[in-house]
Structure 1
Amino acid sequence: MTSKHILFFIIKGIMGFLLVFTDVVFAVGGRSYSLLSFKHISSNEGLQNTSIRSVYQDRKGFIFIGTEDGLHLYNGNNIRVFNHDPRNENSLPGREIRAIVEDPDSNFVYWIGTDNGLCRFNLLKNTYRNYFKKKNPKKYTKPPGSINCLYTDSYGNLWVGFQFNGLQKYDPTLKHFTIFKNDPDDPGSLSHNAINFITEDDNGNVWVVTGQGTINKYDQDAGKFIRYTFYEQKEIRKLKTKYRHILRATARGSNNILWLGFYDGYIYRFDMSSGEYNFIETLYPQL
């Protein structure tokens, strides 16, 4: 796809943007209810892969859909697809698109996390700058460039959470990556190297959640992490569940609250202000 074609695609989307869903309000018995009407996005609009790993909406309203085989850009009318091409260095570094965030200081520039590295993607110029890319990622049992999540903090830093390889912070001013990994002999290091979620609280503190469900608060001054754990490891081993209390999903709510859902059906509510957590009863625990 040329830069001219991409620009036309963007202008077309701005002129005729359609909402994916609309919010309809109606009243019954003096009470207001909200009814959501959904529009299905499928191969008719150009979706080439239905195994979706990530979704992101940028400042202009465009929706990026990361699949197991390429990045899809939806402008409200149709879809443009960007694929990994092993023969072309100016393409996505991996097939599977796991995380997408917008560069806060640039227009139409995005950070894309894949199963084989990170790239800074300039949409208008259709250029890619790749990081952590390996020529033959399949030879690794745990690919070092496999990325789970991305986050840009209020200072403009990019945080990169890897599937197996810890955490890195990119300073766009210095153009430098700082590496954080678990050190068994250092209680101030990351609790684990499998990073599932990164966010920031209302006071500008960065929080990192691992695949084991341990929460790490980054102390900017000390360069260390403070750990919050729901279970001791010996207690996790006692759980009679197939997945041994492995984190499945994390979401940031209002009022500095984190919500954590585990494969075994457990849900926790964590308060980033107080460091306290509560177990939420579910209908189907320990499935």
Structure 2
Amino acid sequence: MAAPDWNPETYSRFRGLRLRPALDLLAQVQELPEGAVVDLGCGSGAVGGALAARFPDRDLIGVDNSPAMLTEAEETGHYGTLAAVDAADWEPEEPVALIFSNAALHWLDDHEALMPRLAGFLAPGGTLAVQMPRQVFAPSHRFLREFAADMFPDRFDFADWRPPVAAPVDYHRMLAPVGRVSVWETDYVQKLEAVESGHPVRRFTESTAMRPFLAKLADWEAQAFIRRYEEALASAYPVEDDGAVLFPFRRVFFTLTV
């Protein structure tokens, strides 16, 4: 069963927390050759304003496979072109100066082939700049796999599961033969404010990491799954005195200049 389309409203609930890593990545992009700038996996266009401000004289191309997200991106007015295509299938008509991808490529497999393929779309001197969550071993994400496999073994089997995002050193080894690479990892201690119902971490993950799990569950199954998940979250991420929760979140970054 395919996951439903992304919900721009629930995703943008934590817009500031999701935008900061993109700005940290953008700060590491240096001089570029002539050519377009591509926001690969642009979503609702949250990074479009920052890219347009940094590169005002370039064509800004947004790429995403979510119709709902592309509608939101178009309304920002930042993109010269929006392409409705999966990032795994996208390729430009001509070499581009920058491929910028914030929190998108962890949804795709086979990074050993994907990243060099994307680098091949760059003009000489161009840059591939990528940020991906690397949160899969944290309780927020580990609980999803453990509980799904325990409660619904007919639909969830993680025996052959592999992390979707590799360790930083693996990306360095992978990309060093292609060009000049810089890789780093950051743990963001995110303060999630109190919510009217549910655990704040669940409200954060429901628009991203939880989507493929909930897509396979009936409503009553989803409610049981969420109850168990929130009970575990309450122990792993206790509520502070002001009702907020401190939620460490790990992300891996790299820039590759060819």
Report the TM range for the smaller structure's normalisation.
Answer: under 0.3
TM-score by length of 1: 0.25
Instruction: From the two aligned structures, give the one with the greater helix fraction.
Output: 2
